[in-house]
Amino acid sequence: MAIRKIRIMGDGVLTKKCKEVKEVTPRIRQLIDDMIETMYEEMGVGLAAPQVGVLKRIVVIDVGEGPIIMINPEIIETSGEQCGSEGCLSLPGKMGQVTRPNYVKAKAYNEEMEEIIVEGEELLARAICHECEHLDGIMFVEHVEGELYDVAPAEEEEL
Ligand SMILES: [Zn+2]
């Protein structure tokens, strides 16, 4: 496993649409392992492949209950609303208020390319929305209400 370099906002790779994964090759497996290690190293709650420069539809999330790997994720149901602070490893030291659904249900594939359902509320719901948007080249700053504000690194969870 290896720590990969996190791309920072302004890097063109973060605004591109990612491609679907058709097969989990050894290289993809390596990428997923590296993404998980990188997320932990950077104290993130989630990480999407384009954040390490790879335009593939893969996200990893850990809200403190162990890693969730989602390949080709697709949000299929949402409900409710939550408004809270959100940050991103690709925009270190900044956060902003973002409204997200309070509940999210998503369909994805695991490393065996078996279909899985991931559902969650609060932080997990927020993380799923945030990471899935990275796969379409969307950064959370597009949803920020008001101004971004400065935050000390690792003070808040970053997605
Ligand atoms: Zn992010």
Q: Encode pLDDT of 34-52 as tens digits.
A: 999 999 999 999 999 999 9
Instruction: Return the closest-CA partner of residue 46 out of 106, 87, 1.
Output: 87
Cα 21 to Cα 143: distance, rounded to the nearest angstrom = 27
Cα 144 to Cα 141: distance, rounded to the nearest angstrom = 5
pLDDT at 134: 98
pLDDT at 159: 72
Q: Does domain 12-150 correspond to CATH entry 3.90.45.10?
A: yes
155 is catalytic: no
pLDDT at 154: 61
pLDDT < 50: residue spans in the chain: none
Is 130 annotated to bind a ligand? Reply is: yes
Distance 112 CA to ligand 1 centre (A): 25
The domains of the chain are located at 12-150
Distance 82 CA to ligand 1 centre (A): 18
